[in-house]
Chains A and B, each alone.
Chain A
Amino acid sequence: GQQLNQSPQSMFIQEGEDVSMNCTSSSIFNTWLWYKQEPGEGPVLLIALYKAGELTSNGRLTAQFGITRKDSFLNISASIPSDVGIYFCAGNTGNQFYFGTGTSLTVIP
């Protein structure tokens, strides 16, 4: 199926730094979702966005639904070692879900 353009592909950052990643699509989505996957586990839903322009926070995580409905970003503030993992975006058209290629995050203590 279709995959979303997610960037960056990987990030190596120092503990305490902020992180930003984004997803873009040629299609309009009704919902944007952000997941985190740790090694050997299934993805866990972090944030769900339902309206264009919506900005939602979950602890140190903040995500926004782009106004054009074709993009979304996820920010992590003051990163900590347990933020390590692969972050996936997903867009929902109502009928189908499409996933990003993932951003691998490494936090250096």
Chain B
Amino acid sequence: GAVVSQHPSRVICKSGTSVKIECRSLDFQATTMFWYRQFPKQSLMLMATSNEGSKATYEQGVEKDKFLINHASLTLSTLTVTSAHPEDSSFYICSARGGGGGTSYNEQFFGPGTRLTVL
């Protein structure tokens, strides 16, 4: 139980294009999902908290118009990197907060991550 998937696992795009990353909780419903960015050999940097049916809450310094988050259902959240530039290249990881399907509200379950490379 408590499986979170992410798609795609890798994406390479040209500068100026937009990229959408999907995060799904496969066997439980997640009222809250989180989006993180991780640089090599560093910890997880929280970008935003996404609640189903409402606007995402962005961390300080994260541009909400650049990183569009949609949480349309209890099992799906999407992150769209708009007008991507090389400095957006990174490892993006989503997670889902438990609370359904035998999971605890006090736990987070992570997806496998998406490696974005912007040329």
Contacts and interface: CB of A to CB of B under 8 A. Distances in A.
A101 interface: yes
B106 interface: yes
A3 interface: yes
Interface residues of A, number: 24
B107 A99 contact: no
A70 B111 CA distance: 27
Interface in A20-60: 30-31, 33, 35, 40-45, 48, 50
Interface in B50-69: 59
Given A41-B112, A42-B111, A42-B113, A92 B106 contact: yes
Contacts of B110: 35, 42-45
B44 A99 contact: yes
A90 interface: yes
A25 B112 CA distance: 27
B109 to A, nearest CB: 6
Contacts of A31: 104, 106-107
Given A100-B43, A102-B43, A104-B41, A40 B113 contact: yes
Residue with the highest number of chain B CB atoms closer than 10 Å, among A33, A42, A90, A100: A42
Closest A-B pairs by Cβ, 4 of them: A42-B110, A31-B106, A42-B113, A43-B110
